[in-house]
Amino acid sequence: MCMKKMIAVVAVALLGLAACGEADNAAVPGPSKTGKDVIGKAPVAAASDILPGSTMEKIKSRGELLVGGSLDAPLLSQQNPATGEVEGFDATMGKALAKYIIGEPKVKIVNSASETREALLANGTVDVVFQTYTITEERAKQVAFAGPYYTSGLTIAVKQGTSGIAKPEDLNGKKVIAGANTPAIPAIKKLAPQAEIVTFGSDPECLQALKQDRGVAYVQDETLLIAAAQKDPAIQIVTKPFTVDPYGIGLKHGDEQMKKFVNDWLGKIQADGTWQQIWKDSIGTVVQGDAPQPPKIGSVPGS
Amino acid sequence: MSVLLDHLPELWQGLVVTLQLTAASFLGAAVLGVVVTALRVSPVRVLRAIGTAYVETFQNLPLLVLLVLAFFGLPEIGVKAEPLTTAIVVISVYEAAYVGEALRSGVNSVSKGQGEAARAIGLTFTQSLRHVILPQALRTVVQPLGNIAIALIMNTALAGAVSIVELTTAAKNVNLVEAQPIPIFVGAGIAYALLAALVGLVTGRLERRLVILR
Amino acid sequence: MSTVLFDEPGPKARRRIRVATVLGTLAVVALAVLAVRQFAANGQLDADRWQPYATWPMWRYLLTGLGSTALAAVVSAALSMAFGLVLALGRLSHRRWVRGPAACYVEVVRVIPALLLVYVVLFALPRYGLDLPLFWKLAVPLTLSNAAAFAEIFRAGILSVERGQTEAGLAIGLTRWRTMRLIVLPQAARRVLPSIVSQSVGLLKDTSLGYVVSYGELLFSSKVLANYNGLLIQTYIVVAAVYLVVNMSLSKLARTLEARQRAGRTLSGRSSARA
């Protein structure tokens, strides 16, 4: 039986390679149209809004918006290997902003390790950062934040059938999985100081580790866990989000002109339904229901 | 500097894990390496082929890939162990390829007459390897083995990828909290340098004691 | 050497070897079957878990990653060889103020994990205003750490050239530097070629640290892939196979070079003997 499977695998592999993969399997990515239609309808700034000598004018004359982002954040900013396009909520927001400034959604994503975003903005390597960039007063000393444009929170997933974990405090004394360098680590340390944190480099690694009992719980952003739980029945979410992380659009510190411009844009796309459509095309594919109420611009200390 | 003192327990724990990984993996690599060498010089062609395949495979795969693959893949074929155990086994298996190569070049450096003499007085393959060839081979490979040990210490840093908090990961974690990279990483670097210096000292001593004065 | 350690096996021994081979093979096959069964029982062999790797876009993506791996490896190798040569010459200099720092660099960097250097470039330098582009966050630490290794290889090579060569060079009135460049280095370079290739294979393996700095080399590409399709184990098996093929080819090149060089040396040895 194994042998048959093996042979099947090899045969499929050969056939697939020969046919250059025209399978319509779910795991086989094809060109995705996420974000295409919505960008078509997204607004473009009036010429008078692009003030002379401003950052916006510089971007427009360059013809490309440089965005600090990730390539490996599913639903938010994930590269589609089939097309090379970066897809998801953050990525599409970046494209919409590029269209607003330039008239075309021309974006170059600069993959930034999250520790260096402040530096990338300060030395002008990127114009904006869309990367689950939680607004904090601490960070606001080094960067300017437009937004918040989205609010998320951390939650806890366990393997199906695990009992005894219903709130963050229950993690005390247990082995807890978290992604390396994610906000989950300080949050666990604060709410469950006696938890033993084990870290892995990526979301699928954390999920695999959870399934292999390397830890009893996995703390991660709600969106990612919802997506995981939907794909894999072995994974179960046990709490409502227990943190509030308002994501901001990172800009160069002190660039008030750009900040106002981006906030105006954000207000416009929230009013005309573009924001909601971007949400539906990305996070909305795993979270049921309508798009949530977008957070109020400037409502968070530091924004 | 005070950062180092404030977080001394965590860093110390990291150093202890690094030491555990190093000691256990080097022991494992040494034992396995001897086996690999024996395979590579054995009379049976199949065994020689196995030895060669072993060295070829493990010298040509990045340790990081091996670690991640073993950590997540082995439980899927029914072999599950503690992360530390998995890391020790993987590093042992990986470094054994290098130890095997070093030992083999050591065996080749023993003059042919020694082997012939051993055989002439009626020793078997195993006996001549054990009593005549390997003891002499070991002398010439003390230095290369020392280098492998140092490389092994450096490589234990990769165990961080499979959730083991050894010295480098401990330093990174402390830096995430304190954001004072220079003292933290320099401190860790000094600890590694001291470990390597210790290895150098030991190999130097060994070499002096084992060297044959002709 | 190895051939003098045993007699050619006789008929009895050969029979025993054959039996042991068959038994051994059976045992290994049985273990493998057990492992594969368990692997399949966990659903890891299901066709739909492998199918993505039968499609061209996935391979195109992985090959792009491999391209970045090659770029990082080639650039780091070139830079670290140049730097390593300078260090090796420095260490062999007869001026103490040159020799000291070069030796110090080599001895210190040789014992610091490349990963730690990566963290320094990744976390420490940006705080002091030096935020390198992603590519250099990988290439710089690799260059720094491999330069020390190359320096030692070059130094060993230079030292292996007989003293008489240098003395002869100096005797015919060449300067120290010209003697080194025209006489010693060309001979040393040929001798260390195999070591250089195997160190380069090591460097290529080290580029997998791009995973940590999120530079899009092969291992990081596989991380992005696994994030996209959730097929962690399959992805890493495929990537391991790619590394194996590439590095084995390089290692084979090293062996060919070594063999050719050995042949060359015996040849020249013979001709000089004739002379």
Q: Report the CATH number that the domain containing residue A129 is assigned in CATH.
A: 3.40.190.10
Q: In this complex, do B108 and C1 lie within 8 Å of one another by their Cβ atoms?
A: yes
Q: Is residue C268 part of a domain?
A: no
Average pLDDT over residues C64-69: 94
CA distance C49 to chain B (A): 14
The ranges assigned to domains in chain B are 19-165
Q: How far apart are CA A275 and CA A266, in angstroms?
A: 8
pLDDT at residue A211 in the model: 92
Angle made by CA atoms B121, C7, B37, in degrees to the nearest 5? 90
Q: How far apart are CA B39 and CA B44, in angstroms?
A: 8
Residue A17: band (very low, low, confident or very high) from pLDDT cuts 50, 70, 90: very low
Residue C73: band (very low, low, confident or very high) from pLDDT cuts 50, 70, 90: very high
Q: Is residue C262 part of a domain?
A: no
| Chain C positions in Cβ-Cβ contact with residue B61 (cut-off 8 Å) | 205, 240, 243-244, 247
Q: In this complex, do C240 and B66 lie within 8 Å of one another by their Cβ atoms?
A: yes
- Tell me: do A136 and A167 sit in the same domain: no
Q: Is residue A299 part of a domain?
A: no
Q: In this complex, do C236 and B153 lie within 8 Å of one another by their Cβ atoms?
A: no
Neighbouring chains to C with at least 3 Cβ pairs closer than 8 Å: A, B
| Chain B positions in Cβ-Cβ contact with residue A159 (cut-off 8 Å) | none
Residue B190: which of B168, B160, B174, B158 has the closest Cα?
B168
Task: Give the model confidence (pLDDT) of A129-175 as tens digits.
Answer: 998 888 888 888 889 999 899 998 999 999 998 888 888 999 999 99
Task: Give the model confidence (pLDDT) of B106-137 as tens digits.
Answer: 888 888 888 889 888 988 888 888 888 888 88
Q: Is residue C2 part of a domain?
A: no
Q: Is residue C259 part of a domain?
A: no
Q: How far apart are CA C115 and CA C122, in angstroms?
A: 10
- Tell me: do A161 and A127 sit in the same domain: no
pLDDT at residue C85 in the model: 94
Q: How far apart are CA C52 and CA C50, in angstroms?
A: 6
Q: In this complex, do B168 and C119 lie within 8 Å of one another by their Cβ atoms?
A: yes
pLDDT at residue B16 in the model: 96
Average pLDDT over residues A39-65: 87
Evaluate if residue A205 carries a pLDDT over 60. yes
| Chain B positions in Cβ-Cβ contact with residue A186 (cut-off 8 Å) | 177
End-to-end Cα, chain C, rounded Å: 30
Q: Which of the 8 DSSP states describes residue A157?
A: E
- Tell me: do A194 and A96 sit in the same domain: no
- Tell me: do A65 and A134 sit in the same domain: yes
Which stretches of A45-201 are DSSP H helices?
A: 55-62, 89-102, 117-122, 137-140, 184-191
pLDDT at residue A286 in the model: 82
- Tell me: do A204 and A118 sit in the same domain: no
Closest-CA residue in chain B for A176?
Answer: B163
Closest-CA residue in chain C for B181?
Answer: C124
Which stretches of B60-82 are DSSP H helices?
A: 63-73
| Chain C positions in Cβ-Cβ contact with residue B188 (cut-off 8 Å) | 116
Residue C47: band (very low, low, confident or very high) from pLDDT cuts 50, 70, 90: confident
Task: Give the model confidence (pLDDT) of B4-31 as tens digits.
Answer: 888 899 999 999 999 999 999 999 999 9
Domain count, chain C: 1
Task: Give the model confidence (pLDDT) of A96-110 as tens digits.
Answer: 999 999 988 899 988
- Tell me: do A139 and A260 sit in the same domain: yes
Q: Could you list the residue range(s) of the whole structural domain that residue A230 is in?
A: 154-237
Q: In this complex, do B64 and C114 lie within 8 Å of one another by their Cβ atoms?
A: no
Q: How far apart are CA B166 and CA B191, in angstroms?
A: 12
CATH number of B19-165: 1.10.3720.10
Predicted TM-score of the model (pTM): 0.84
Evaluate if residue B103 carries a pLDDT over 50. yes
Give me the CATH number covering residue C250: 1.10.3720.10
Domain count, chain A: 2
Average pLDDT, chain C: 87
Task: Give the model confidence (pLDDT) of A166-192 as tens digits.
Answer: 889 999 999 999 988 788 888 898 999
Q: Is residue C272 part of a domain?
A: no
Q: 3-state DSSP call for residue A212?
A: coil
Q: Could you list the residue range(s) of the whole structural domain that residue C156 is in?
A: 55-254
Largest CA distance in chain A: 71
> Of B80, B163, B177, which has the smallest distance from its Cβ to A199's Cβ?
B163
Q: In this complex, do C52 and A80 lie within 8 Å of one another by their Cβ atoms?
A: no
